[in-house]
Every structure is written in C-alpha cells, then in structure tokens.
Amino acid sequence: MAVNDFAPFLNTFEGMEPFAGYVDKGFLTDFIGQRIDGKFRVLWGVDPDAVGDAEAQTRLPELADGEGWFEHFNWVAAAREARGSYTMMTLGSCYGGQAVGSYLTLQAINPMPAMLVAVDGVPENMEMTRQHFSNNGIDPNEHWMVEAAMSGDNKPVLFPIGSPGSGAQNCVDTNSTAARMAILELARRNNSTDNLAENLLLRNATDLTVPLVPNPDVDWTGEITFVSAVTLRDLLTPFPRVDYVEADLQESERLVFPPAMDLLTKKVRRVHLGTHGDPTHDMLEGMFRERGWDILFSYKPRASYQTEHATLDMNDGVLTAVNPAMAYSS
C-alpha cells in the first residue's frame, strides 16, 4: 500500500451531512456537531463570551485543514470498519475532543455500543474530559477516565501540572537523569532545596514551575509534580480488540509505544499519532512497518508539504497505521 496516497480516501466524507443548527452561547462546534465549551479553548485564543448563541453551518473536512483532516478521516474510517461494538482510546485526551468526535461519528454513520478510554495526567484536563462527555450526551461513568501520565512503565513520573487545555505536557522533558539534575539545579539557584524536599514529601510536588513550550511569547507553565503513570499495555490488556488508538503525547510517544508494539499488533486495528521530532517519527514508523502494519499517512512535524490536492502545513507530525491482521473479513 502506497504511503500518502490520498486517491482511495478522497471520498471518505461522501454522503455525510455537516452539522447545521443552533450553537449554545459559549460553545463551539464542528462538522459532526460536537458541543465544545469555549472555556476549554481559552489558551488557544477563544473568548467564551464571544462564541455561540447563533445558527451555524459547518462544512465537511478538507485536506487543506492539515492535521485536522487526518484526525477526522480516522474518526470516519474507524467507525465504518467497526463490527458489533467499538473501542477507542485517546492518549493525552486534553478536553476529550478526539474521543467524543470519534464516538459521535460512530453513532452518526454506524451506530453501536462503544467503550471510550481517555487518559491524561493533568487533573483539570480529566475534569474537562468528563464535562465534555456529559455536554455531548455521553455518561463518563460508563467509560474509562484514567488520570495518569502515559509512560513506558509504571514508576511515578515527574510531570508538569498546569495550563489545562494546552495539551503541551509530557514526561520526557522531566524524567531523564539530566532533566532531574536540571530540576535540582533550579531549586539550588532559587535557594529552595529544603522546600523541594518538603513539597515532595508532603504533596508530591516541587513548587517549581517550568515553561511547557520554548516560545517565550506563550505563557504556558506547569508545576513539576509526581503523578502516577500508566502504560499502553495496562490499557490494552483487558480488551480483546481495540478499533482505534489516537495519541498526542508531546514526544512521550517514544516511551509509550515501543514496549507495547507486540500487544498492539495482536489487538489494535488502527493507530493515529501526532508525532513530535523527526527521530521519534522515524523510529515509530519503522516499528510499525517491521510488524507488518500498513502506513497510510506519514508526515513529519514542523514542515510544509505540497501535494497534488493541497498544501499541508504541519505543526505536529501525523502517522496513521492500520493493522491488516486485525481487519474484519468482508
């Protein structure tokens, strides 16, 4: 199967009707009719007081949408392939938009019972995820809401807690030996090593705040905190089959996926990753290929690509892989 061949997929959204209707005050929507609370998107420039309370006519996704097209494509493709029941996992759920969008797409084009698994290490993000489920008619208590950082093992990890809704946290930048030494050096410079020890012992936190992105114009910060970690193997083990795994882990994907590749290949039909860093992208693509997965789409991050259909401007990379071993017989 050719990589980045759009021809078989250009009609993915054919026959679907984009949402048209009233949007409540303070809410946004998308083509499938998700009710997205504007408060969840404040860090991305949304003013909740300035959105909604109006009729909206959305449109179907277009390839020029870039990363969003690939996410929406996978919602539809995974939903159409499902048989009998549907299981979807979103790793780094932020406010839960990928899970809810996937669920609403399923119910619109191929309705059936579904189990959603949403994972995020930021407590406020999990609160938003639960609220987002409820706002869209999904009872979060009937699905898995996992408040933990994704990692390669179950050791507690240092994780930056703050700036909910940014989706910018990972456990890569804070847990190597060099990273932990840098945290200790920061405490020394601040003359706060005693406070560091006290905070770690009494509340699993450091009272040290770090920027989440390298851009000094973006004021996204988090306090370095010890949080529980969950592995992909932990999540996959209870399920006989998983239709779709979506992950946006801000480079933690290079820790999370390699230890679980064999189990992924035994249980998962489709994976879509937002990738961060060319070496991580190349490593993961190679691992999927080695195990016989078909790579549908592979675009590295922070680059622009000219296709015959559209120019794709990528911030995160995209990697979509499907597992022939888990295809349903027609």
Q: pTM score, two decimals?
A: 0.95
Residue-wise pLDDT for 178-205, tens only, equals 888 988 888 898 888 888 889 888 999 9
Structural domain boundaries, residue 219: 169-225
pLDDT tens sequence for the chain (330 residues): 799 999 999 999 999 999 999 999 999 999 999 999 999 999 999 999 999 999 999 999 999 999 999 999 999 999 999 999 999 999 999 999 999 999 999 999 999 999 999 999 999 999 999 999 999 999 999 999 999 999 999 999 999 998 888 888 888 888 888 888 988 888 898 888 888 889 888 999 988 888 888 887 888 999 999 999 999 999 999 999 999 999 999 999 999 999 999 999 999 999 999 999 999 999 999 999 999 999 999 999 999 999 999 999 999 999 999 999 999 876
Write phi, then psi, for 188 (nearest 5 degrees).
-65, -45
Question: Looking at residue 315, which CATH number applies to its domain?
Answer: 3.40.50.150
Write phi, then psi, for 221 (nearest 5 degrees).
-130, 165
Long-range contacts (CB closer than 8 Å, 24 or more residues apart) made by 297-302: 297/3, 297/4, 297/70, 298/3, 298/4, 299/4, 300/275, 301/275, 301/276, 301/277
Domain match, 114 and 138 both: yes
Residue-wise pLDDT for 143-163, tens only, equals 999 999 999 999 999 999 988
In a domain, 309, yes or no: yes
What DSSP assignment string belongs to 120-156? ES-HHHHHHHHHHHHHTT--GGGSEEEESEE-SSSS-
Count of structural domains within the chain: 3
Domain match, 99 and 181 both: no
Domain match, 212 and 115 both: no
Q: Are 283 and 306 in contact (CB under 8 A)?
A: no
Domain match, 178 and 287 both: no
